[in-house]
Structure formats: C-alpha cells, structure tokens
Structure 1
Amino acid sequence: MMRFPNEFLIGAATAAHQVEGNNVNSDFWAMENVPGTMYKEPSLDAVDHYNRYKEDIQLLIEAGCSTYRFSIEWARVEPEKGHFDKKETAHYKEVLEYCHENNVKPIVTLHHFSSPKWLISEGGWESVHTVDHFEAYAKHVVTELGDLLPFICTINEANMGKQIAKIIKEMTGSLKQESSNTESDTGVQVGLNMDTNAEMMNYYSALSEVFGIDSEKVQTFLSPRTEVGELIIMQCHERARDAIKKVNPDIQVGITLSLYDHQALPGGEESVKQEQADDFTDYLPYLEKDDFLGVQNYSRKIHGPNGVVKPDEKTRVTKMGYEYYPEALGNVIRFVSKHWSKPILITENGISTDHDEERVEFIERALQGVHECVEDGINVIGYTYWSLLDNFEWQLGYEQHFGLIAVDRSTQKRYPKKSLAYLGKINTTGLPSLSANVQNKPGL
C-alpha cells in the first residue's frame, strides 16, 4: 500500500445547479426552458441535493472520505440585484456546519457556471459592472459564512470561455481542418451540445426575449468570450479574492482551471506551447496573490504539425468521448508545478461511464500519478473526484454518468457504487499497488 500524507484531502465534488434542483432564478434554468432550447432536457428537481445533502454527505463520510467540494448558488443567494436572501444563505450555512460536525473539510466554489438571470440581462460576463456585482456577492458570502470556509474557489474553470470561443470559430469556418488526419481543437471539459451553428443562432434569438436584451448581448459564463470578457473574469477573481481576504484573511483562496495534458508528436511542439499558454500560463499574472490553484483534468490532447490529432477508432474513450487516459492528471500536475510553487488542489478529475469497474480503474491510475507527484515533492494537497452524484451534465442532460453514487430520479433513491467505497478506502488505508492491467500504460 502507498499512503498519502495524513493531511491529504480525498473526497468528491458537485456543482449546485447540477444537483440541487429548481434553481429557478438562474440563467441556466431560463436557457433550459426556452423554446428551441439546446438542452436535451431541463434540470427540474435534479437529484434533489438541496434537500438531501445530509444523506449524500453521510454516504461520503461512511465511505471514508475527508473532503467535499460544492458550490454556493449565486442565483439563490442574490435572486434579485442587491437583494440577498437570508433563507438561502442560512441553507448553505447548514450545509457547511454539517460538514464541520462530521470532520469533512468543505471546499466552496462561489461561481460554478450558473449565474443569476438578472446578471445576464445587465450584460453578463462581458459587462464591466459584473466585477462590482461579483465582489459584492463574494463579500456577502464570506461576511455571513466566513468562519466556516477554509477554502474558497472564486470561479470554476475561469478559462472555459476561451476554450468555447475556439469551438465557435471552428463551427463558423474561421478555423480550417488542415488534413484528413488532424482536426482543430473541438473539445472542452464540460457538457455542451453544439450540433449546428444555425441551431445555436435560433437558440440565442429565443434567449434575447427571455433576458430582454439583443441576442448578441446574451453573455452567460459559457458564452464564447472576447479579450475584454477574459479580463473581466480575472478582475472578478482578483476583486473577490481581495474582498474575502479583507473580511477573513485566514481563508485560503484560489481559482480553478480546465487543463488538458497536451502532448506533442514531432512537429507539434509549437501547437502544445500555444495551447498551454491559452489554458494556463497566460492567467498566471492574475493569480500571484492566490493561496492555491484548483486543477481540473479529464484527458489529454495529442498535437501534430497541423494541430490536435484526431484519435483513431481503436482509441479507448469515455462516454463523453474523451480519450480514456487517467495518466493525464499526473502529467498536468508536473507541468503546472514548473510554473506554480504554491499548493495544488485537484478540484475535478473523473470519468463518465456506465461501467463502474472502469471508474475504479480510472481512479486507481489517476491517483497513482498524483501519489508519484507527492512523493517527488510537488505540493499537491488534495483530490476531489468529479462527481459525487450522477447529475445534470448541462446541455447533455442526465445521460452522462460521472457519479460515485447513482440516483433513481423517479424516487431520488441513492445507490452508492463500488467506486465510492474504493475512493474512501484510499483515504483510510492507502493506494494499492498497481494491478497488472494498470502497469501497461498507453503511450503516444
């Protein structure tokens, strides 16, 4: 058995809109229910985590896990601009208190993709006023709940808008496929449904009526982002971080980034370098005062002379279509550590699959890479698997299964999977030596 340090955090993660249900004041609720929606189905009651959080956290505890990452829903806390709902703030206080009472370290994300509907109507994530709004929200949360918040991630996957912008350029023909053996980067680590550009345009036209603004001004967090929008996101992070530290300097504050393991074939080195800059190194100047970095990884991308190489039909893939490559996480940690000396927290890593034995193997292989990084002196302080529950995967609905716990949504009954017990066992007894099939790591 290979043990992590006693203080190493192992647990799982969720996002409020994906699990709580009935988030009626959010932009995502509006987008799910608009005519011609791009969503395969609405979130509705989700998996009712809002009311069943004690049951879910208890399952995490019984498995042996020590941490839980979840998000506070801005649209619940501030359903109308400037009006903070005391009842909803009290709800999240109860969740935090339950974690502390049961020796579970809470890691809270202030913004995990979904936003108040009113924010989008006022210009959303391309409006400079959003910086002030986000700062006020962060200040409210930490003023009311700060003593219960050891870790805060201000914004989840702050680089996601840039990645989505690349996909939109591909769809509109700005990026050309250069050969039958290569393709432009069309993958993001989030559930999006982008079948045709025409459908998206019709969808955004319908959204203009919902939000009361012109369609081109509908800027949700997952809209393709301009350079101005990129700056606004980072200003939101900096202002929120500074506000949090002013109220309670003991809170550890960071941000999370979506990072692929970029690997180069001969001639692909420049493509890798550009992707790594876009995904990570360009953001470093804004993170200098942060206490930790949240790393989120699900797979790798292989680059040739003409860009990202399309996997062949023999490549093992997950239900989301990512290459099944758990070793990507360790590689990403090593890359990040070359530019970042402060603590690294794995805030998301996981797999969508209908076969739980694949999930157990994925966790084993991914954590083997993490353990090797820790042994080599890299400052990794924890790992939260995505996700605790099978949940609402944004535009893809409920067909993706990332969870350690299955849910029958007709009854909301929980069914813990063997992978949950396996993850908890690592926390209590250590990481088992690699099995024979794991030792045969896939290469380039």
Structure 2
Amino acid sequence: MNMNQKETFFIGASTSAHQVEGNNIYSDCWAMEQMKGSVYNEPSLDAADHYNRFEEDISRMAEAGYQAYRFSIEWARIEPRRGDFQFQEIEHYKNVLECCHKNGLIPIVTMHHFSSPKWLTAMGGWENDMTAELFAGYCSYVMEHVGPLIPYVCTINEANMGIQIAKIMQSMEPSELQIGINTDQAQFMESYMKNLGDVFETEPQKVQPFISMRTPHGDEIVRKAHMAARKAIKKKSPETKVGMTFSLFDYQYEEGGKAAAQREWDEDFRHYLPAVAEDDFIGIQNYTRKIITKDGKTRPAQGKLTMAGYEYYPQALGHVIMRVAQDWKKPVIVTENGIATADDTERVAFIREALDGVKQCIESGINVLGYMHWSLLDNFEWNMGYTQTFGLIAVDRRTQKRTPKPSFSSLGEIARQYKN
C-alpha cells in the first residue's frame, strides 16, 4: 500500500495505563472494581503487567517496524494522595519514555485516560470546579520532570465520553459506546449507591468518575481542565505539541434524519472547538458508524458485528477524518482505531481498509500525522473485563506470555514503508 505520504507520517499502537499496567491501587476504577455489587465483570488485578514488562513490549514494536507508541501516565500513581507527588513514579515513566527514544519510537503521552485518583473522584471528580486546577497541577509536575522527552501530549482521552454516556442513559435507547462499559441501570440501584459511598467514604451522589453521566457543568469543567493543562504543559515544555482526543462516530442518516445527525456531531465534536482552538493537533478515535433514523434515533447495528457489538465498518475512519477537517485545519492524529475480534484475519483486513481511508484523506490535503492502532495488547476493557480482545498481541492471563498475532506483523510491514 502506497500512501504517497511525507516522511513525518508515523504508524504505531496505543495502550492506556489502567488497562495494561496492573495494580493501579490508588485509582477510582480499582476501587469500583473491588466493591461489592460492582458493575465491572471482573477486577483488573495485574492486567497485562505492562508496568514491569514495558521494555519487552516497546522493543517488540520497534523490531516489527512501528514508529510510535501512545500510552498514558497514570495520575493515581503520580499523586496517590492529594498533594503527595511520587518522584519514583515519575522515574518509572521517565524510563518508559527513554525506552521509546532508545528504540526509535515517538512517544505520544496521554495525561488522563479515564481513570482518576480515588481522592479526586471522592471530592466530586469531574463535576467539581476544583478539578481543572488540580489536573493542571498534576500536568505541570509531570512536564517539569519529563517534558523534554515528550513530543506529543494528549491532555484528556475522549473528552466527550461522559456526554455520550449521558445521552444513552437518559434516552434508554440501546446503543453502542466506543468503550467497554455496561449500560444497564445497576449504577442507580440503592444498594449500589450505598456501596459506592462506603468505598469512597463520602456521599454516593458526590462520587463522579470520568466514565459516568456528565452534566453540562461537568462538560464545561472538562473543557476548562484541558485549557488549564495546555497552559501548564506549554509553560514547562514549550516545544511539546498539545491536543485532546475525541470519541467520534461516522454519523450517517436515513431520509429525514439529517438534522438529528448534525446535532449529534455538534454535541460530540463541534461545541469543543473553542476549547481546542489553540491546540497543535486533534486526536481522532473511531471504531464504527451510527445511522440516524428520521425520528432522531440510532438504527440498531446490522450486518457483521464485532465482539464489542459494533458494526464492522472500517470505512468510518476516513469519513470521520474528512468530517473533522471541515472545521479543523490543523494536524490530526488517529489516536485510536481498531476492532474487538477473536478472528485475527478480520483485524488484518480492518486495518488495511481503515488505512485506505486515511490514504484518501491525505491525498485530499488533510494533514494526518499518524495512525495509532487500538490496542497493542489484549487488555482490561473497563467494565467488560478481559472478554473483548482488541490487541495486536495476545496475553496469557496466567503467565503474562505475549504472543504476537498476524495483525501485529502485518501492521509492522505497513509501518516499515514509512521509516525515515
């Protein structure tokens, strides 16, 4: 496949700390996994033990021809108690960053990927006005110590996820989310709320994790947190490129559904444009499409479905990049795109079809900096546990042995075409 792409284009894979590192004991997700009546199918425990095995995983990517690695720094490790910053954890992530550079991989760092410190969530989390300042303080501390090693920073992963969850929960309309969560009503049960309050040692209504229904006020806090973080990052490391990532569907529509589809897009993306106006790039995360009916609802997914219940539709990525480019004239990075499947031949085909869409976007003049596949490893898919396999590399849950799938080498072969 020839993309006629400039030399700066990079191909790599993504992970998030909580999903792969293991033993993230100070986070809100860990607390909610362990609690009685949890909505998580199982606890994360050691996850993929990437915290201890990152050198093996990074070197394997480099050997296969990958040029970049997107991963997250875990706030709950850096600041397990408010104001108590752990320098040894900064040293850990410094080692990860240096390992990327040593192996010729561009590190793309996400500062917040869904999980938050337990103490932050207990004090109101992403509905608390103080969160923007607290998040910026954490980002400032990280960048002060390792900023020069980070060329790209994504402040917040899928900033719009809470709004997407709120829409689905409020409408009670069955629909997929681009995240592995249960959308039943367990979180509203009286016993669940009591247990939640007991675990976080506060009023249960006050507990507001990032992955929950977000109010308009909470959405404003997320936008303010991003802008405050960007300012803090640029102050400590002016050369670092800063952006934010979004969960974006390819919204299509039946006759009579155009206006509703436009509203969905505006809520998911366009209303964030003022907050990202000074950013260097936008991160696009896409897995499928949604078709809006004339009554404004989402048509149930049809045709071939993935393990996650999404429609198999790799063409969605190119469509979304084109749609974003209508309003955003700066660079974009595909920070997530992938498929949950037990049949790796589907993954190989999905990647190639999705990258064909990226090629078309590039040829039309859109500045796509890179493509980061989700995910490097089979990992902990949030509420759904270890049941969904998105990884290019299989992980034995008992031994932690890694077994690269054919898709891993297939994507590596594509990446080798664009090595500098």
- Note if 1:52 corresponds to 2:49: no
Kindly state the Cα deviation for residue 187 of structure 1 after the two structures are TM-superposed: 2.3
User: Could you tell me whether the CA contact under 8 Å between 2:136 and 2:229 is conserved in 1?
Assistant: yes
1:326 corresponding residue in structure 2: 314
What aligned pairs does 1:15-30 form with structure 2 within 5 A after superposition? 15-30=16-31
1:42 corresponding residue in structure 2: 43
- Gaps in structure 2 of 5+ consecutive residues: none
Of the structure 1 ranges 161-170 and 132-141, higher mean CA displacement relative to structure 2 is found in 161-170
2:205 corresponding residue in structure 1: 216
1:439 corresponding residue in structure 2: none
User: Hey, what's the Cα distance between the residues in 2 that align with 1:70 and 1:153?
Assistant: 10
- Note if 1:372 corresponds to 2:360: yes
- Note if 1:343 corresponds to 2:314: no
User: Could you tell me whether the CA contact under 8 Å between 2:176 and 2:309 is conserved in 1?
Assistant: no
User: Hey, what's the Cα distance between the residues in 1 that align with 2:417 and 2:233?
Assistant: 36
Which one of 190, 197, 202 corresponds to residue 179 of structure 2?
190
1:109 corresponding residue in structure 2: 110
Q: CA RMSD in A?
A: 1.2
Q: Deviations over 1:110-144 (max 9, x none)?
A: 00000001111211111011111101000001000
Kindly state the Cα deviation for residue 201 of structure 1 after the two structures are TM-superposed: 4.7
**Match for 1:390: what amino acid?**
D
Q: Deviations over 1:38-73 (max 9, x none)?
A: 111000000100000011111111111100000000
- Note if 1:353 corresponds to 2:341: yes
C-alpha spacing 1:185/1:235, structure 2 compared with 1 (3 Å): farther
- Gaps in structure 1 of 5+ consecutive residues: 172-183, 431-444
C-alpha spacing 1:365/1:238, structure 2 compared with 1 (3 Å): same
C-alpha spacing 1:398/1:227, structure 2 compared with 1 (3 Å): same
- The DSSP-based 3-state class of the residue aligned with 2:116 is coil
- The DSSP-based 3-state class of the residue aligned with 2:291 is strand
C-alpha spacing 1:357/1:201, structure 2 compared with 1 (3 Å): farther
1:235 corresponding residue in structure 2: 224
Q: Deviations over 1:342-383 (max 9, x none)?
A: 000000000000000000000000000001110111111100
Kindly state the Cα deviation for residue 200 of structure 1 after the two structures are TM-superposed: 4.8
1:267 corresponding residue in structure 2: 256
**Match for 1:250: what amino acid?**
E
Which one of 290, 310, 317 corresponds to residue 305 of structure 2?
317
User: Could you tell me whether the CA contact under 8 Å between 2:255 and 2:294 is conserved in 1?
Assistant: yes
User: Hey, what's the Cα distance between the residues in 1 that align with 2:311 and 2:191?
Assistant: 32
User: Hey, what's the Cα distance between the residues in 1 that align with 2:114 and 2:186?
Assistant: 22
What percent identity do the matched residue pairs reach?
54
User: Hey, what's the Cα distance between the residues in 2 that align with 1:362 and 1:308?
Assistant: 27
TM-score (norm. length: structure 2): 0.97
Which one of 395, 406, 411 corresponds to residue 418 of structure 1?
406
Q: Deviations over 1:10-43 (max 9, x none)?
A: 0000000000000000000000000000111000
Q: Deviations over 1:72-99 (max 9, x none)?
A: 0000000110011011110000000000
User: Hey, what's the Cα distance between the residues in 2 that align with 1:90 and 1:254?
Assistant: 24
2:171 corresponding residue in structure 1: 170
Kindly state the Cα deviation for residue 202 of structure 1 after the two structures are TM-superposed: 3.1
1:435 corresponding residue in structure 2: none
User: Hey, what's the Cα distance between the residues in 2 that align with 1:339 and 1:5?
Assistant: 23
**Match for 1:396: what amino acid?**
M
2:89 corresponding residue in structure 1: 88
User: Could you tell me whether the CA contact under 8 Å between 1:252 and 1:292 is conserved in 2?
Assistant: yes
Kindly state the Cα deviation for residue 204 of structure 1 after the two structures are TM-superposed: 2.8
Kindly state the Cα deviation for residue 199 of structure 1 after the two structures are TM-superposed: 6.3
Q: For this pair of structures, how many residues does the alignment match?
A: 417
